[in-house]
Amino acid sequence: PHDDHVLLLYNPKEKNPIKRGGWTAGDPVPYAALSKVFAVIEDESSRLIIQDTLADFFRSVIELTPSDLVPCIYLCVCTELAPAYDNVQIGIGDAILIKSIGEATGTTPKFVKDLYQKQGDLGKVAQASRSKQSTLMTFQTKPKPLAVAHVYNDMVKIAKMSGNNSQASKCSIIKSLVVRCDKLSDEAKYVIRGLQGKLRIGLAGQSILMSLTQAFMHPKEQGDKALQAEALKHVKRAFSEFPNYEVLASSLLTVFTRENDQKGVFASQFVELAEFCHLTAGTPVSPMLARPTKSYAMVLDRFQAMPFTCEYKYDGERAQIHILPNGDIRIF
């Protein structure tokens, strides 16, 4: 029988990554564990503690269920569920979410909408509606706990749906997700926010890369800021040249597992990522963003005695033109 407390076992304060996880090695990562991490991060203002919290979670995933690392990363990224060039973006409108929450929790869309206008956070509304629900209409017995991979796969399905009947199909999947959220955790809150494409916990892309780097680092070097910076430099370069979290994660896991003691990757070994993540025709690199400067003097100060070139900045579309080995041309 399903036991409520099983869903709340992830313990952020536990130092041992395997004990911290709270799920059995090889089992799917419970969504309750990730939602617990999100809750801790939401209540924390220190950027370093946020990075450490996420790094600890990633390390538990690496030790227990490495195959779920990519879904975990994308649910943290939230706005995109695949590489940016694949354009698999989530961002469900409020109307369909309100309808789905009402039907899943036995309330009405009007009740959900009124509560939303008072609270201003549809995730909290879903959580409140779910926790007050005394019985489940859809299931006679409690449903199987949500897994991270299941939530991710359902979100990808929703993001790819289009056409006349897609609204009903989306609503059905969202209802199923909400019904399976545990009433004692914050799952419903973060499922709905994830579907909106905004977690609202202050987690930036750079923090995710830093936490991922830290999670793979050897314990002997994790506390050294200079070595962290060296490792992060290689991870950032790898991701800039091949901006794909799936390839980055599998490359990190490859480097991690081929080290002798498999306790972690030393900072000097992160350079090995270049074997797998490098400029590749057909995979657009991340565009270089401009850094605004207020005056010519600041530009000259920054470059000092270095020679540099200037050009006018035009408004318009950016395009990358890739010529593939077979002669095909792709424009991104």
The strand pair at 329-331 and 321-323 is best described as antiparallel
- The whole model's pTM is what? 0.89
Mean model confidence pLDDT for the chain:
91
The pLDDT tens digits of the residues spanning 165-210 come to 899 999 999 999 999 999 888 999 999 999 999 999 989 889 999 9
Cβ proximity of 35 and 186 under 8 Å: yes
| 118 phi and psi angles, rounded to 5 deg | -75, -45
The pLDDT tens digits of the residues spanning 229-276 come to 999 999 999 999 999 999 999 999 999 998 766 789 999 999 999 999
Q: Which domains does the chain have, with CATH numbers?
A: 1-215 (1.10.3260.10), 296-331 (no CATH)
- C-alpha to C-alpha distance for 119 and 113, rounded to whole angstroms: 10
Region 96-105: what's the mean pLDDT? 95
The pLDDT tens digits of the residues spanning 127-165 come to 999 888 764 454 556 778 899 999 999 999 999 998 888
Catalytic residue among 13, 225, 294, 313: 313
Mark residue 91 as left, alpha or beta (left: phi above 0; alpha: psi -120 to 50; beta: remaining).
left
- C-alpha to C-alpha distance for 87 and 196, rounded to whole angstroms: 16
Burial of 145 (0-12, 13-18, 19+ CB in 10 A): buried
- C-alpha to C-alpha distance for 330 and 332, rounded to whole angstroms: 7
Distances (CA, A) of 157 to 147, 167, 174, 268: 16, 12, 11, 40
Residue 313 annotated among the catalytic residues of the structure: yes
